[in-house]
Chains A and B, each alone.
Chain A
Amino acid sequence: MSTALDTDVRPEDRFISAFEVNHGQALNGTNASIAQQREDAIERFSALGIPTNSLEAWKYTDISKIIDRPYALPLAPEVPSVDPSDIAPFTIDDMDAHRVVLVNGRVDPSLSDLGDLPSGVVVSSLTQAGDAHPDIVEAHYGQYADFEDEALTALNTAFVQDGAFVYVPSGTVVEKPIFFLHVTAGQEDLFLQPRHLFVVEDGAIARIVEAQHSLTDAHTFTNTVTETFVGERANLEHYLVQDEGPNASQVHTRAGQQKDDSVYSTNTVTFSGEVVRNNANIEADGSFCESNLYGLCIGKEDMHVDNHTQMNHVQPDCNSNELYKHVLNDESTAVFNGKVLVTRGSQRIDAYQQNDTIVLTHDANIYTKPELEIYADDVVCSHGATTGQVDEEGVFYLRSRGLSERRARILMLQAFCDEVLSEYKIDALRNHITEKIRQRFANYFS
């Protein structure tokens, strides 16, 4: 079942009436508190409205036009069938992983290959988890992704149906990466709202890799919300590869919470997309946390990529590192907005933020803005941003040793990306991304 959104009315009202039409049917949650959250969320969405450029946080990214398309809003678990050969280009076979494939936000078991998971570890769909582990889902679901000020998070929460779920119990080490391959498929223009929940308990160690690809040329808009919980002394590496093609737009919100002595590292690379807005929010709700936010955007054509990060230090003695890099070609646009909040009493915080951009054409654009809100006095916060071209001094050095100007420039671009790539701790994934970048650059400067 799918509800076509009526384009004659305001886009907000379309979603609201779709919510009402399906009320008590597909949207009916199994759990009373989740059902109540939905009601609150649609009300909040209605009050906030779809963000426009007049909001400071959306100044450089306009999703209002893109959201105003006659998308179908699939509300029942019918998913187009996808052949293994369709997803073959995206499976990163060199990476030995527990693989789960989601088609239009729904787990497709026939394409997945979970392998042997350590005892107690759960990797499943969110709905399955709701049935099998309601206590875990209830304890964490809706706790980290706040929809009070975020219309898209409210919208996702109102329509929540399914997505991915990971649970790693205390002290458990998952050696192989858990790999979620998200693909969109089908003939119609789609509005998708997957919801993921990743829970890594005290002392557990896991690595989650997510990759987003598209099998359709139809226009799609994916409004993802991911919540992560990283318990005391736990370590979660969280990678996201975005390459959905020129007709796919998305708002991707990732909200994580960390406890004492934990490490949470996120690394996002964006290769394509019409409009991509990533909200990466981390709250270090414990002492001695390390939080890492890394990102890379390889801009081409008229793609628009906006990375908004929010690092909340609400406890003392933590450090956070943030490094986002862009290589922008053609008419591509990147936005980086890095917010760091240090609350009163959160002393001895070390927060580092850096955003570097290489702009290859006159038509490429970068808007970058650090936002530091610091209410503690014993804090080291540094931020920097650079924008420029490939370093000519380096290009000349390489050419003077016999490399062509093209090769010299490509090597310099690859080197520029290397600082972020070196933060990929999974060799096969790093090689995969490096190769994708190499292929992208191969026809530059020719």
Chain B
Amino acid sequence: MALLEIENLHVGVEGEDIHILKGVDLTLDTGDLHAIMGPNGSGKSTLASVIAGREEYEVLDGEIRYDGDDLLELEPEERAEEGIFLAFQYPVELPGVSMTNFLKEAVNAVREARGQDELSSAEFLQQMRERADMMGLDADLTKRSVNEGFSGGEKKRNEIFQLAMLEPRLAILDETDSGLDIDALKNVADGVNKLRDEDRGFLVITHYERILQYIVPDRIHVMMDGKVVRSGDKDLAQQLEEHGYEWIREEAAAAAA
């Protein structure tokens, strides 16, 4: 069943004459994990942000359906409640916002939307310890302000830790593998693999074939200049690793001509 259907998606920047996504088509079925690759500035993060509901972007044309329903009319928090999670490429530092308090509120908001009971403080702390451990996140970090003074790798681990706490149905990982050491990369991959099941879907944005050895994608899409220009199976990543994007660019140009 289709979890996410993106059709002819055109996106600009609110209030500006900038056209970033120029007709993206992509369908992700439940149970699947797709990778999105592509050169810098091709629109990968913009696509992820639009799915998560970032308001600075304006949808100019096309649609996104989630579980068959129009996604674009939902507020970001409603999308989170519906099970969408974006692991940010650049997680925000929030000095003064306590990790524990914020995450407890987030977890309970999402649980309430799913008709589950609130977690007690004890249950929450217990779950937090378990998942932090699973993601190799130093438990001390959960006692601090959100991402404040975290290293690049710690921020990425923290995103995956929050993913594990919120148990989304659609998880989008925007270059979560960048800046991770090999242990962290394995933790992230293990975490993702543990969550993979028949009901969930994943979009993994990455520049490196490396992570795809640990979390094997069902499909790989290549984005260029605001469009998906090529899709293929996992071997496409290997080809890109060896030959770069130039041959795809040429093919795409030839097809367009």
**A residues lining the B interface (CB < 8 Å):** 391, 393-394, 396-405, 407-408, 411-412, 414-419
- Complex-state Cα separation, A371 to B59, whole angstroms: 48
In angstroms, how far is the closest chain A Cβ from the Cβ of B48?
A: 10
- Complex-state Cα separation, A120 to B81, whole angstroms: 62
Question: Which of B53, B96, B103, B105 sits near A400, CB closer than 8 Å?
Answer: B53
> Does the CB pair A412–B77 fall under 8 Å?
no
Q: What are 6 A-B contacts with C-beta separation under 8 Å?
A: A398-B94, A400-B76, A400-B86, A402-B113, A412-B94, A419-B96
- Complex-state Cα separation, A419 to B95, whole angstroms: 8
Q: Which residue of B lies closest to A411 (CB)?
A: B97
A-chain residues with CB within 8 Å of residue B80 when the two chains form the complex: 399-402
A-chain residues with CB within 8 Å of residue B75 when the two chains form the complex: 399, 405
A-chain residues with CB within 8 Å of residue B79 when the two chains form the complex: 400
- Complex-state Cα separation, A411 to B99, whole angstroms: 12
The size bracket of the interface on B is 20 to 34
In angstroms, how far is the closest chain B Cβ from the Cβ of A327?
A: 12
**Given A411-B97, A415-B94, A416-B96 in contact, is the A396-B110 Cβ separation under 8 Å?**
no
B189 within 8 A of A: no
In angstroms, how far is the closest chain B Cβ from the Cβ of A88?
A: 29
Q: Which residue of B lies closest to A404 (CB)?
A: B77
> Does the CB pair A396–B97 fall under 8 Å?
no
A-chain residues with CB within 8 Å of residue B77 when the two chains form the complex: 399-400, 402-405, 408
User: Which among B91, B97, B106, B166 has the highest number of chain A CB atoms within 10 Å?
Assistant: B97
Question: Which of B92, B103, B145 sits near A397, CB closer than 8 Å?
Answer: B92
B54 within 8 A of A: yes
B-chain residues with CB within 8 Å of residue A407 when the two chains form the complex: 105
Question: Which of B76, B81, B95, B166 sits near A415, CB closer than 8 Å?
Answer: B95
> Does the CB pair B81–A398 fall under 8 Å?
no
B102 within 8 A of A: yes
Q: Mark B81-112, 1 if CB is under 8 A from A, else 0.
A: 10001101001101111000011011101100
**Given A394-B92, A396-B55, A397-B91 in contact, is the A403-B102 Cβ separation under 8 Å?**
yes
In angstroms, how far is the closest chain A Cβ from the Cβ of B131?
A: 14
B187 within 8 A of A: no
A-chain residues with CB within 8 Å of residue B88 when the two chains form the complex: 397, 400
> Does the CB pair A400–B166 fall under 8 Å?
no
- Complex-state Cα separation, A408 to B106, whole angstroms: 10
Question: Which of A399, A402, A404, A412 sits near B97, CB closer than 8 Å?
Answer: A412
B-chain residues with CB within 8 Å of residue A403 when the two chains form the complex: 77, 102, 105-106, 109
- Complex-state Cα separation, A27 to B81, whole angstroms: 69
Q: Which residue of A lies closest to B165 (CB)?
A: A401
Q: A398-B94, A401-B106 are in contact. List 13 more A-B contacts (CB 8 A).
A: A393-B92, A397-B92, A397-B94, A398-B102, A398-B106, A399-B53, A402-B77, A402-B80, A402-B107, A402-B113, A403-B77, A405-B77, A415-B95
Q: Mark B45-88, 1 if CB is under 8 A from A, else 0.
A: 00000001111000000000000000000011101110001101
